[in-house]
Structure 1
Amino acid sequence: MPKKFKVFFYFLFITFLLTINVYATSFKKNILILTSYHRGYEWNDIIEQGFLSILKNYGEYINIKIEYMDALNNNDGIYYDKLLTLYKDKYKNSKFDMVICSDNWAYDFFQKHREELFPSTPLIFTGLNNFESYKSQDKLIENSTGVLESIDIKGNIDLILTMHPNTKNIIIIDDTTITGTGLSTDLNKLIYGNYSNVHFQEIKNMTLEDTIKKINSTDKNSVVLFTSTSIKTNDGSTLYPVEIIHNLKNKTSIPIYGIWDILLGNGIIGGKISSGFDQGVYAGKIAEKIINGEQIKNIPIMNDIGSNYMFDYNELVRFKINKSQLPKNSIIINQPSSMYSITKKQWTILLCSLFSFFTLIIIFLIINIQKLIKTKKKLKESELNLHNNFNFLRTLLDTITTPIFCKDINGKYTDCNYAFEEYIGLSKDEIINKTVYDLKQGNLAEIYHKADLELIKTKGHQNYETQIIGTNGEKQDVIFNKSSILSNYEAIGIVGVIIDITELKKNEHKLNRLLKFKEVMIEVNQSIIGLTNINELFDLILSKSIALMKGAKYGSVLLLKEDINLVIASSIGYDDEKTKDFILPLESSFHYLKTKGKITSTIIIDDVFNLYSSKYVVLGKNDWKIVSCISTPIIINNKLFGMINIDSDEKDIFNEDDIDIMNYMKYQIENTISTHNLYNEIMYLSKYDKLTNIYNRRSFEEIFDKVLSEALRHNNSFLLVIFDLNGLKLVNDTYGHLQGDEFIKSFVNKLKSSISETDILARYGGDEFIGVFSNTQLDSLSEKFEELNKYFIDNPIILEGNKVTYNYSYGIATFLSDAVSYSQLIKIADERMYIYKENLKRKLK
Structure 2
Amino acid sequence: MKYFLLFSILFLSFLNANENKEVLLIHSYHKGYAWTDDISKAIENNFSKHENIELTTVYMDTKRIDDKSYLENLSKLYKEQFYNRKFDLIIISDNNAFDFIKDYYEDLFKGIPILFCGLNDYTKERLNSLPFKDVSGVAEAVDIENNFELISKLHPNIQNLLIINDKSITGLAVKKDLVKIMEKYKERFSIEYTDNLEINDLKQKVSNLEKGKSAILFVLLFKDTTGKYFTHKQSFEQVRKVSEVPIYGLWDFYLNSGMVGGLLTSAVAQGQTVSNMAIEVLNGKDIKDIPVLEKSPNLYIFNYDELKRFNLNISKYIENPIIINEPSSIYKEHKNFFIITILTISLLSIIVVILKANIKRRERLERELSNRIEFDKVLLDTIPNAIYYKNINGNFLGCNSAFASLVSSTKEEVIGKTAFDFFPENIAIQNIKIDKEVLKTFTTISSEFTFYTPSKDMKHIILNKAAYKNIDGTIGGIVCIMDDMTERTQQRQFLIQQTKLAEMGDMISAIAHQWNEPLVELSALVQDIQTSYLLNELKNSDVENFVNDSMIQIKYMSRTLNDFRNFLKPSTKKVLFSISKAFNEINEIIGKQVFYSNINMNFNYKNTNEELLIYGYENEFKQVLLNIINNAKNKIVEKNIPFNKKAKIDINIQRCENCNMIEIIDDAGSIDEKIINSIFEPYFTTKENGMGLGLYMAKIIIEDKMKGTISVRNNGNCAIFSIKLPFKEL
TM class by shorter-chain length?
A: 0.3 to 0.5
What TM-score do the two structures reach when normalised by structure 1? 0.40
Q: Tell which structure's C-alpha radius of gyration is larger.
A: 1
Q: TM-score, normalised by structure 2?
A: 0.46
